[in-house]
Amino acid sequence: MPSARPLRNGSRSSHLPVGGGQPGGRRDRRDPPEDQKPEVRRDLISTKLIELEVPRERAVLVGAPQKGLLQQLADEHLEELARLTDTAGPDVVGTLTQRIDKPNPKFFIGEGKAEELKQLVAESEATLIIFDDELSPAQGRNLEEFVGTRVMDRAELILDIFATRARSSEARAQVELAQLQYLRPRLTRMWTHLSRVRGGVGMRGPGETQLETDRRMIDHRIARLKDELERVAQQRATQRKGREGVLRVSLVGYTNAGKSSVLRGLSGSEVFVEDRLFATLDPTTRAVEVGEGAEVLLTDTVGFIRKLPHHLVASFRATLEEAREADLLLHVIDSSHPGWEEQKSVVEEVLADLGLQESPVVLVFNKVDRLTHAEEEGLRARSQTYEGTPAVFTSTVEPSGLDPLRELLLQRVREMRPDVRITLSSSQGGVLAEIYREGEVLERQDNGSEINLRARLPASTLGRLRSRGVRIYGGA
């Protein structure tokens, strides 16, 4: 006789057949009648897909131009801020402007305008406020506390864009350095856990605040990044030594002026091009044939913009060293932009900050295909007022739109390679091959055992040949 099994309530039961005594030990599996089945509430079952995308932020833009600024320029500045915001990702849901004599020390804008901003944020359900000017740490903190919404300024927005666009380890290090330098004086606004660290054995005394701890960690990281970028600068200097004797040209200009398109059009290589601000950050160098067997090394550098954070300019010095070491700067200008003259001035100011104001410059008025014939003639006349600065007019979409620039580069190569006469013996075949390989032979006369050449050669090649006793006339 099988033993009884304990039940959950502690009593015991005899061993019964499975199925409650049904013959064969089977359960009765007959379905209940239809009218006795429980009702299923299908309206309670959700048929919506789960949203996995992060919701886009909704931004209100705030401009506070000085009262003396032309309205057209003030509108362009706010429009550019909208393009920067689009590049960063948020949707613009409102704008607010106020003409000021000088910034309000509390809110940057007036207190009445700050109240209006608070109402606009509530009505538009904005999650972010972006100012077109750089805010002090105190102004940013005061605005966030008053409005109850996160506040960014133009500098922080540009840094955020650079962080998302940085691809190489060098660019990421440069952006991180700039962000940390921007963040350090703003830690008080960003942290609320400022209580003292609890003391203990070996930690007697006042201790240190979390703010001080964060500052110390940031200072340590800044020092490491500076060391890393210094090594990068040394590596770039070594690479540039191997390019001596070749014309080195750097493209500079306002962001989205078409520098990358010019590089792609001249080199024929695939270069990333996008109609957005700061589409490329890392310098790209390509060898470009300009005719008559001559080549130049053309480098595309990061674009500039008005109110560019000075931390960012300082951080990108290693990258911009390419421009510093160039034999020629091509200042690319978007000739179709109504504010091209202001953009030109902004680029010249940044170049001056980098110590490049004395470098040879050629103005490249790009996108002339977007101009009418009358507008292009007016632009050509206007360019004549920049005395001492040559200018060319280009288009990257027309078949021969870059020919004027290619011809100018060829002329510069000729100037770098002086026209000389060389006399060789017929036994100096190796030297003859070297001249053909590294220079441009313009004339050749074979007189028995003697070969007379007229050629253009780089200065480095001429120096090497002279040191080997080759007879060279001219080009000293």
> 0.85 cut: is pTM over it?
no
Which residues of the chain fall short of a pLDDT of 70?
Answer: 1-54, 188-209, 239-245, 270-282, 314-319, 321, 475-476
User: For position 157, what pLDDT does the model report?
Assistant: 92
Q: Is 338 exposed, middle or buried (CB count within 10 Å of its CB: 0-12, 13-18, 19+)?
A: exposed
Q: What is the 3-state secondary structure (H, E, C) of the chain?
A: CCCCEECCCCCEECCCCCCCCCHHHCCCCCCCCHHHCCCCCHHHCCCCCCCCCCCCCEEEEEECCECCCCHHHHHHHHHHHHHHHHHHCCEEEEEEECCECCCECCCECCHHHHHHHHHHHHHHCCCEEEECCCCCHHHHHHHHHHHCCEEEEHHHHHHHHHHHHCCCHHHHHHHHHHHHHHHHHHHHHHCCCCCECCCCCCCCCCCCEHHHHHHHHHHHHHHHHHHHHHHHHHHHHHHHHCCCCCEEEEEEEECCCCHHHHHHHHHCCCCCCCCCCCCCCCCEEEEEEEECCEEEEEEECCCECCCCCHHHHHHCHHHHHHHHCCCEEEEEEECCCCCHHHHHHHHHHHHHHCCCCCCCEEEEEECHHHCCHHHHHHHHHHHCCCCCCCEEECCCCCCCCCHHHHHHHHHHHHHHCCEEEEEEECCCHHHHHHHHHHCEEEEEEEECCEEEEEEECCHHHHHHHHHCCCEEECCC
User: For position 40, what pLDDT does the model report?
Assistant: 55
User: For position 350, what pLDDT does the model report?
Assistant: 86
User: For position 282, what pLDDT does the model report?
Assistant: 67
Tens digits of per-residue pLDDT, 13-57?
444 444 444 444 555 555 566 666 566 555 555 566 665 666 889
Asked if 191 and 335 touch (Cβ cutoff 8 Å), the reply is no
> Residue type for 33, please?
P
